[in-house]
Chains A and B, each alone.
Chain A
Amino acid sequence: MRKEFGRQERCLQDHFRIHANVKPLQKYRKLVVKKTVVDRDVQAAPGVCVNEMNTIRAEYAEFSGLHEEGGWPKDINMNDPEMIQRHRKKLEKEDAFTIAVPLMADEMEELIKNNNTINFYRSAFSCDSIIAPDRELVPTATVVNVYKNPANRPRRVSRITFAPENIGRMAVAQCPYEFDPSLRQHAGEAFFWEIENPTRPEGMIRAGSPITDVRYHPKDLHTIVGSLFTGQVATWDARVSPNPQLVSTYETSHTDVCTTALWINSKTGCEFFSSGLDGQVIWWDERNLSQTLDTLWCDPEKGQGRPEFAHGATVLEYEHTLPTKFLAGTDRGNVMVFMKKGKSPSERMIHMYKAHKGPVMACHRNPMFIKNFLTVGEYHIRIFAEDCKESSIMWTVPAETRYADANWLINRPSCFIACRNDGVLEWWDLLIRGGNNIMQMKVCDEALTAVCAADTGKHIAVGSIHGDVRFIQMSDLMSDFDKGEKPMLAAVFDRESRREKYLEQRNREIRLKKRDLEKQEAIQKKLEEDEAAERKALGLPDIEGMDPIQVKGMKIRQEVARNPIIQAEREFFISIDEEIRTKGIDAFPDKKVAKKKKSEDGDEHQEGGAVNITAADLAALDFHEDEQGADEGKPEAPPAAPEATPSQTAAAPLPPQSTTPSESQLAPPEPPEEEEEEEGEESPADEEAQNEVDEADDEEEE
């Protein structure tokens, strides 16, 4: 209702009146920061933007005109030569004619004479050849044609190939890779297009299941081989019918999707081979597809061809200038190089390069330098040199989206194109800029799935996920290749491969060193373990948890225990000990000396028992280690010394008989020392010797 709209505004002119005044707060003054560097630009001009638009596709049809004769008056029958002649004659007789012709003739004569005198159109200027224009600095490309998907359902383009010998024909294979049962039921078609005519395809081939790859025979335009989604391969003759001439049988074909089929340059010209996701590479003769010529499993281990371990092969690459080898990219991201005719029973894998973390989407050799090839995986493009086996020589930074396909350009081998899942086509040129692409072009909104360089050298065909193929024309920057650039490109590849080789070598050295170190450590560790085991066997306590001095002591003990000589000595001591205990003084060979000793000092220690060798006895005994001790000792000692030496040394650990054997083991350190104190005659050397023996004793006991 009108009254709901509100009152009509009435504007009055009034003097100025301040309705609100907000003064700045002093407390914020200190917080004010003057910005001296401003990064925002201000422009007072109106903003404009550029937008290009084009119709998606303009339909062209070519017609040529048939010129019929016309102009004859109605009463004259055109086909009657008599009448025509008569009419002509009549026309000639007209006045206007007779006047006009000489006039025209005069003018004409002038021109003719002109032409005869001078050649107007010769090049009058000294430059004989047209100066090559400066190479453009900015590459450009435009979409020239769009070949729309003729089928009603959108199916991604899986392969685009061009007919050989630059005829201007293109084959497009469309096959959805998604696992969708409803899609499988439709028959597959592949279309042939004439490049000049984007309106409708020139031809079509059909098969029972979607066609993943379609290839022209290199010599014969009409023989076509294709690989099917079911793993079979089929051949067609394009002139005869769209249905396949021959389809391989299920038993002999791949057990999974057949991804690529390539013709081989063979003597018969009829051979081709195919790869599949089951991991097989099969050779066929096109005349008989019920038999395979040869098969090979892509087993990652060298020298083996085991089906269970084979990686599925997603792409094949074969270059007829290098007929003995071919490359296969797998779905695990490896690229395997195979020798086609292996000397060993199974065709040998020469090497496997680790390329990507995802399946290898494309693998192509450089048309000029066949030793280098590029592979495309998830987010990277890598360039390999065959000799550098450890890694690729060049690779790109990760892109924003996945790459679907890449290929070298034919006329310019330093340049390659890659298509991405966001509809962007990238151009890379190794000579202009190695780190980044030289140009990106958003071809369409949907993902791009296949790309191929046309034989013209100036064009690229790129296929999208909806089944459309766009034909792109490039500027000269990307299609010219001077003679001087070939050595530059060779230098680029050479430099990078040398760098990789150097790194490889360093890596190897480091690994070797590390291995040696590890070996050393292993040996060391083994030694320690052995020692620990020994210790356990001997009954010595574990080293863990002891302080270094104790550890040292323990180690000495262990060493002593291990040493056979010391062991022998110890056993000897033990046996002597036994003898003395059992036989008494008779154990000693020199009874006279012992008796004498006994009689001299025996009274002091009689309480002990039957046998009590006193400290004096001990002192009298000459330890063979110390001559001094012998001299200082009793004079009787020297003659007896040599013979009695073992017994003397053996006598030392003798315990006083009173104590039990176990206690006695502990006792010996004390009494000899006490005796030593008592009898100062004992030399320090004896003490030493005794201490040594005590130590041996300790070790024996503990």
Chain B
Amino acid sequence: MSNNEVEEAIKRIMSHKGVVGLIVINHEGIPIKSTLENSLSVQYAAQVTQMVDKTRSMIKELDNNNDLTFIRLRTKKHEVLVCPEKEYSMIVIQNPIDT
């Protein structure tokens, strides 16, 4: 089943080192799949949607032929990776390795 693929993909990502959580949101901002608890997912969804919109508009304005591929947000505590697609976005929170 194609659903299996989805599950497998998610499992694969979660198995990587340092990954804390994963959220898949749709264009409306509803978290469809999430490994974090609901309230946190909702918060992330809200913030990330806004940011993706803003970033995309910025890139488009500067150069119309350009487009946003992904956003990597490094914070003190972890790194937030956002991969926006046409309809959905995937958000992954990872703890980077400390050398």
Say yes or no: B16 contacts A67, CB within 8 Å: no
Cβ 8 A contact of A116, one of B30, B46, B88, B97: B97
Q: Whole-angstrom distance from the CB of B96 to the nearest CB of chain A?
A: 5
Say yes or no: A115 contacts B5, CB within 8 Å: no
Say yes or no: A112 contacts B92, CB within 8 Å: yes
Residues on the A chain within 8 Å of B42, using CB = 67, 69
Say yes or no: B12 contacts A91, CB within 8 Å: no
Say yes or no: A97 contacts B88, CB within 8 Å: yes
Q: Whole-angstrom distance from the CB of A199 to the nearest CB of chain B?
A: 27
Cβ 8 A contact of B81, one of A71, A91, A106, A111: A111
CA distance A238 to B20 in the complex (A): 46
Residues on the A chain within 8 Å of B70, using CB = 107, 111
Say yes or no: B26 contacts A119, CB within 8 Å: no
Say yes or no: B88 contacts A104, CB within 8 Å: yes
Residues on the B chain within 8 Å of A116, using CB = 16-18, 96-97
Say yes or no: A100 contacts B94, CB within 8 Å: no
Residues on the A chain within 8 Å of B79, using CB = 115
Say yes or no: A112 contacts B94, CB within 8 Å: yes
| Beta-carbon nearest neighbor of B18 in chain A | A116
Say yes or no: B9 contacts A96, CB within 8 Å: no
Say yes or no: B24 contacts A96, CB within 8 Å: no
Cβ 8 A contact of B19, one of A69, A71, A98, A112: A112
Say yes or no: A112 contacts B13, CB within 8 Å: yes
Q: Map CB proximity to B onto A79-114 as digits: 1 under 8 Å, 0 otherwise.
A: 000000001100111011110111111111101110
| Beta-carbon nearest neighbor of B33 in chain A | A92
With an 8 A cutoff between CB atoms, is B37 at the interface? Answer: no
CA distance A468 to B88 in the complex (A): 53
Q: Whole-angstrom distance from the CB of A86 to the nearest CB of chain B?
A: 13
Q: Map CB proximity to A onto B1-17 as digits: 1 under 8 Å, 0 otherwise.
A: 01101100110110011
CA distance A103 to B88 in the complex (A): 11
| Beta-carbon nearest neighbor of A88 in chain B | B32
- A-B residue pair count with CB separations less than 8 angstroms: 110
| Beta-carbon nearest neighbor of B72 in chain A | A111
Say yes or no: B13 contacts A100, CB within 8 Å: no
With an 8 A cutoff between CB atoms, is A122 at the interface? Answer: yes
Which interface residue of B17, B69, B74, B85 has the most chain A CB atoms within 10 A?
B85
Residues on the B chain within 8 Å of A16, using CB = none
Say yes or no: B88 contacts A100, CB within 8 Å: yes
CA distance A67 to B49 in the complex (A): 12
Q: Map CB proximity to A onto B36-76 as digits: 1 under 8 Å, 0 otherwise.
A: 00000011001100000000000000000000011010100
CA distance A105 to B33 in the complex (A): 13
Contacts A67-B46, A112-B19 known; A98 to B90 CB distance under 8 Å? no
With an 8 A cutoff between CB atoms, is A70 at the interface? Answer: yes
Say yes or no: A109 contacts B2, CB within 8 Å: no
Interface positions, chain A 598-635, Cβ under 8 Å from B, are none
CA distance A71 to B48 in the complex (A): 14
Say yes or no: A97 contacts B30, CB within 8 Å: no
Residues on the B chain within 8 Å of A60, using CB = none
Residues on the B chain within 8 Å of A70, using CB = 28-29, 46
Residues on the A chain within 8 Å of B96, using CB = 115-116, 119-121
Residues on the A chain within 8 Å of B47, using CB = 67
Say yes or no: A98 contacts B81, CB within 8 Å: no
Say yes or no: A108 contacts B90, CB within 8 Å: yes
With an 8 A cutoff between CB atoms, is A179 at the interface? Answer: no
| Beta-carbon nearest neighbor of B42 in chain A | A69
CA distance A116 to B92 in the complex (A): 14
With an 8 A cutoff between CB atoms, is A72 at the interface? Answer: yes
Residues on the A chain within 8 Å of B30, using CB = 69, 71-72, 87-88, 91
CA distance A501 to B13 in the complex (A): 79
CA distance A69 to B44 in the complex (A): 11
Contacts A105-B12, A105-B90 known; A92 to B3 CB distance under 8 Å? yes
Say yes or no: A119 contacts B97, CB within 8 Å: yes
CA distance A67 to B24 in the complex (A): 18
Residues on the A chain within 8 Å of B69, using CB = 107
Residues on the B chain within 8 Å of A103, using CB = 85
Say yes or no: A98 contacts B17, CB within 8 Å: no
| Beta-carbon nearest neighbor of A65 in chain B | B46
| Beta-carbon nearest neighbor of A102 in chain B | B9
Cβ 8 A contact of A93, one of B3, B26, B72: B3
CA distance A581 to B12 in the complex (A): 162
Residues on the A chain within 8 Å of B6, using CB = 92, 97-98, 101-102
5 contacts between A and B (CB under 8 A): A70-B28, A71-B29, A102-B9, A104-B83, A119-B97
Other A-B pairs beyond A72-B28, A97-B32, 17, CB < 8 Å: A67-B46, A69-B42, A70-B29, A87-B30, A88-B30, A92-B3, A92-B6, A96-B86, A96-B88, A97-B88, A101-B33, A104-B89, A105-B13, A111-B92, A116-B17, A116-B97, A119-B99
Q: Which residues of A does B touch, CB under 8 Å?
A: 67, 69-72, 87-88, 91-93, 95-98, 100-109, 111-113, 115-116, 119-122
Q: Which residues of B does A touch, CB under 8 Å?
A: 2-3, 5-6, 9-10, 12-13, 16-19, 24, 26, 28-30, 32-33, 42-43, 46-47, 69-70, 72, 74, 79, 81, 83, 85-90, 92, 94, 96-99
* A-B complex: 6 closest residue pairs judged by Cβ atoms: A71-B28, A105-B9, A98-B2, A104-B90, A71-B29, A67-B46
